[in-house]
Structure 1
Amino acid sequence: MADIGTRLYTWLNGEKVGEDQFGNLYYRGKKAANGQRDKRWVVYKGEPEASKVPPAWHAWLHYTTDILPTGAEQMAKPWQKEHLPNLSGTDLAYRPPGHVLSGGKRDKATGDYEAWRPE
């Protein structure tokens, strides 16, 4: 949820240009200063987390492309996985075997490790 300052700025100066599959809204400035690029920004749905921005919209936000992402650009290639936001710090974060929060039990060593001993 955007704070009141962002909402006011967006209402006064923003032109909505699109929305992604996560509900994030994308804007550009109504007027660009002479010789400058237009401002571009995102208003996140829910918690503001930059990793929630899909690659096609990231490219537009960072002026890699001036073409607005449409359904065709957002379609995944057969080899691509679905975009996931950063899950660090959540219950869904990856925890390797042996991690304290995953039970703390590691598999026994397989015997291919030999500890170094100084002579």
Structure 2
Amino acid sequence: MADIGTRFFTWLNGEKVGEDQFGNLYYVAKKRASDKAAGQREKRWVVYKGEPEASKVPPAWHAWLHHTIKDLPGEADLRAQPWQKEHQPNLTGTELAYRPPGHVLKGGKRDRATGDYQAWRPE
């Protein structure tokens, strides 16, 4: 949920242009003569549904937000490819975060070297 300042700014200055499958809303700044005269790019932003997390922005919308593509993503752009995985939130700092073998929070014990490794020694 966006804070009150972001919602107020968006209400005053934004024009909604789309929504993604996660419920995030995408906006552009309302057209002003001064912006066009100055040659500025249009301002684009996202208002996240729920916790603000940048990894929830699908690739096509990310490209649009960063002016990589000019036009809004179409249905074909938003369809997931068969090799793409479903979104998973960033788990860093949570109990579900990845911890490799030997991590201090996973016992701190590493397997012994198997002998296929030879340490480098300077001559």
Report the TM range for the smaller structure's normalisation: 0.7 to 0.9
Which runs of 5 or more residues in structure 2 are unaligned? none
Query: Paired residue for 1:53, among 53, 57, 60?
Result: 57
User: 1:111 aligns to what?
Assistant: 115
User: 1:6 aligns to what?
Assistant: 6
TM-score normalised by L of structure 2: 0.81
Which runs of 5 or more residues in structure 1 are unaligned? none
Q: Report the CA distance between 1:51 and its aligned residue.
A: 2.1
User: 2:28 aligns to what?
Assistant: 28
Distance 1:118 1:66, change over 3 A: closer
How many residues are aligned here? Answer: 119
What is the identity percentage for the equivalent residue pairs of Structure 1 and Structure 2?
A: 80
The residue identity in structure 1 corresponding to 2:79 is M
1:71-90 pair list within 5 angstroms: 71-90=75-94
Q: Report the CA distance between 1:103 and its aligned residue.
A: 2.8
Q: Report the CA distance between 1:96 and its aligned residue.
A: 0.7
The residue identity in structure 1 corresponding to 2:23 is G
